[in-house]
Amino acid sequence: MRIVECEVAVIGGGITGAGTLRDCALRGLKAVLIEKNDLASGTTGRNHGLLHSGARYAVQDPESAVECIAENRILKKIAHHCIENTGGLFVTLPDDDPGFHALLLQGCRAAGIECDEISADHARRLEPHLNPDIVAALKVPDGTIDPFRLTSANVLDAVEHGAKVMTHTEVTGLIVDRERIAGFNCLDKRTGEPFELRARVVVNASGVWGQKVCAWAGIDLPMFPSKGSMVIIDYRVNNVVINRCRPPADGDIIVPGDTVSLIGTTSKKIPYDEIEDLVVDDDEIEVLLADGEKLIPNVSRTRVLRAYCGVRPLVAVSGKTFGRDISRGIVLVDHLERDGAEGLVTIAGGKLMTYRLMAEMTADLVCRKLGRKAACSTRSTPLPGSGKKAPLKKTARRFSGIPQSVVGSTHYRHGERAHRFLSRDPKSYGLICECEMVTAGEVTYAVRHLMAKDLIDLRRRTRLGMGPCQGELCAYRAAGLFTELGPAKGDEATRMLIDFLEERFKGLKPVLWGDALRELEFTYWIYQGLFGLTELDRPSESDEAD
């Protein structure tokens, strides 16, 4: 059996694993990351993308609030191509306890979060679609962050610093060698090849799956699977993050993100064996839309695009029975100290927002275990895409002749790296996805450099298929490009197309009424009526004879 060797092996290609891989690679450690699906396919790709100021935690979880504001300031510098500095408001509605406003203000001040009391009129000037009945408002430095772009940029930088990443490869068990965790067994899900990855330190960054990884080593680290659901609406109804000024509850936040807005979130404890098979419940959609409408009345007149959910990777705390009561604090476990198991470290809890800090703490521990002295540099080293970029005006001049909307969105998504694939060759700027302005050049770059191995991965790298048509008019073009670029032959591209549409359908199914239903019917006409997609996927008679 093939054996791969390294110093640090990371399980999990969510933001925690990606950040840890990058930190280790920048310190000169030989590091490898294994992800069973795609990068950011776990909880990292299933959240609001809120760049917390920390205000949301300032009353109940001050430690997390302090971590959030510190990382908020760092990420705005090192990851600015993944961030929109929208600002945020906490607004009080007539039904809300007016006392919470003062508590929040006090909590923010104690945590060092800039928090200004502004009049209701001022709040409505900042966000004209806000409910006109609001009675009070606080302004905080919330923003939005694209979790897919952030994860991919961390991995790209790690790889450019010598790390290795294997996606669609599952860790199937730990290798124990004389009481030491010496690595793990892997299965390449695409080729079916099993292999061993041997490492001096194994980092378990597998989020809510961390409990399962620990159990392989006979270690009990119970997670508290708290499911949160969100709905996406078809327009960007707000430009500022809108939070309801009350203790965290369902439906109390609306986050703008690229071309859409998200209403979040619910909190439901689910049995651990349901984490693979998440479903958004009808009652969750009802409460999110009803409460979202209270913040921004336009929500009721806007088409719902899709619904999705994720599970918070919270480590269970005895006595706590509700997810919102558990701290979002970081849990770093050296299993040698806790359980006598040398070679295994678990990093869990925290937030997307605090991933860099979590990675720094983990890499510090890894270095101590390896006896290596290497300082963390991620506080100040920009991610690829967040380096020095030419102002948009200059880029636009350089690419004059190419539609400005294309130049603008490419520049926005990839920062200075856009120059690696945008060119005057009409093939490079030809549009594949009109909703999100994704070009053939960007698809090619994602396949060749960002490990997009199928259309679902491509969606996470580029936003292809995330806009109003949900892939209806771009998926077949992208599948065609995949065959042209080489990673998929004709039949494989057909299968990819089916998988992509089925994956999109999961998020559409809970919101199928009105315009969403009409749009889906149109998608069905194209893919089944016109292309006969499911017929194409069946083996031909001659194949069957073989």
Ligand X SMILES: Cc1cc2nc3c(=O)[nH]c(=O)nc-3n(C[C@H](O)[C@H](O)[C@H](O)COP(=O)(O)OP(=O)(O)OC[C@H]3O[C@@H](n4cnc5c(N)ncnc54)[C@H](O)[C@@H]3O)c2cc1C
Interacting residues with ligand X (CB under 6 A): 11-17, 34-37, 41-44, 47-50, 52, 170-171, 205-209, 228, 265, 310-313, 350-353
Element (H, E) at 31: strand 31-34
For residue 420, the minimal CB distance to ligand X (Å) is 26
Residue 205 or 407: the one with the smaller Cβ distance to ligand X is: 205
Nearest Cα residue to 167 out of 6, 37, 12: 37
Residue 198 or 419: the one with the smaller Cβ distance to ligand X is: 198
Query: How many whole angstroms separate alpha carbon 294 and alpha carbon 482?
Result: 44
Token representation of residue 420: 């690696």
Residue 138 or 348: the one with the smaller Cβ distance to ligand X is: 348
How many C-beta neighbours within 10 Å does residue 59 have? 19
End-to-end CA distance of the chain: 31
Query: How many whole angstroms separate alpha carbon 393 and alpha carbon 398?
Result: 9
Residue 226 or 409: the one with the smaller Cβ distance to ligand X is: 226
Token match 């800039």: residue?
114
Q: In 298-334, which positions are buried (b, 16+ CB within 10 angstroms) versus exposed (e)?
A: bbeebbbbbbbbbbbbbbbeeeeeebbbbbbbbbbbb
Token match 């936003």: residue?
463
For residue 378, the minimal CB distance to ligand X (Å) is 16
Query: How many whole angstroms separate alpha carbon 499 and alpha carbon 504?
Result: 9
Residue 49 or 415: the one with the smaller Cβ distance to ligand X is: 49
| DSSP summary character for residue 116 | E
For residue 455, the minimal CB distance to ligand X (Å) is 18
For residue 236, the minimal CB distance to ligand X (Å) is 17
For residue 204, the minimal CB distance to ligand X (Å) is 9
For residue 173, the minimal CB distance to ligand X (Å) is 9
Name the amino acid, one letter, at 446.
Answer: A
The alpha carbon of residue 82 and the mean position of all alpha carbons in its chain are separated, in whole angstroms, by: 11
For residue 349, the minimal CB distance to ligand X (Å) is 8
Q: At what angle do helices 15-26 and 355-370 cross, to 10 degrees?
A: 50
Query: How many whole angstroms separate alpha carbon 362 and alpha carbon 366?
Result: 6
Token representation of residue 430: 């030809």
For residue 347, the minimal CB distance to ligand X (Å) is 7
For residue 64, the minimal CB distance to ligand X (Å) is 10
Token match 């893919």: residue?
527
For residue 351, the minimal CB distance to ligand X (Å) is 3
Residue 98 or 218: the one with the smaller Cβ distance to ligand X is: 218
Length in residues, the chain: 546
Q: Which residue is nearest to ligand X (CB)?
A: 14
Q: Are strands 260-264 and 223-233 parallel, antiparallel or unpaired?
A: antiparallel
Residue 173 or 490: the one with the smaller Cβ distance to ligand X is: 173
For residue 165, the minimal CB distance to ligand X (Å) is 11
Max CA-CA distance within the chain?
Answer: 75
Residue 13 or 465: the one with the smaller Cβ distance to ligand X is: 13
Name the amino acid, one letter, at 143.
Answer: G
For residue 331, the minimal CB distance to ligand X (Å) is 10
Token match 């057909």: residue?
494
Residue 34 or 263: the one with the smaller Cβ distance to ligand X is: 34
Residue 237 or 406: the one with the smaller Cβ distance to ligand X is: 237
Residue 63 or 170: the one with the smaller Cβ distance to ligand X is: 170
For the CA atoms of the chain, what is the radius of gyration? 23
User: Is there a contact between 441 and 432 (Cβ–Cβ < 8 Å)?
Assistant: no
Strand partners, 233: 261, 304
Residue 170 or 416: the one with the smaller Cβ distance to ligand X is: 170
Where does 382-495 show beta strands of DSSP type E? Answer: 431-433, 438-439
Task: Show Cβ contacts of residue 328 under 8 Å, excluding neighbours closer than 6 positions.
Answer: 57, 61, 64, 314, 349, 350, 351, 354
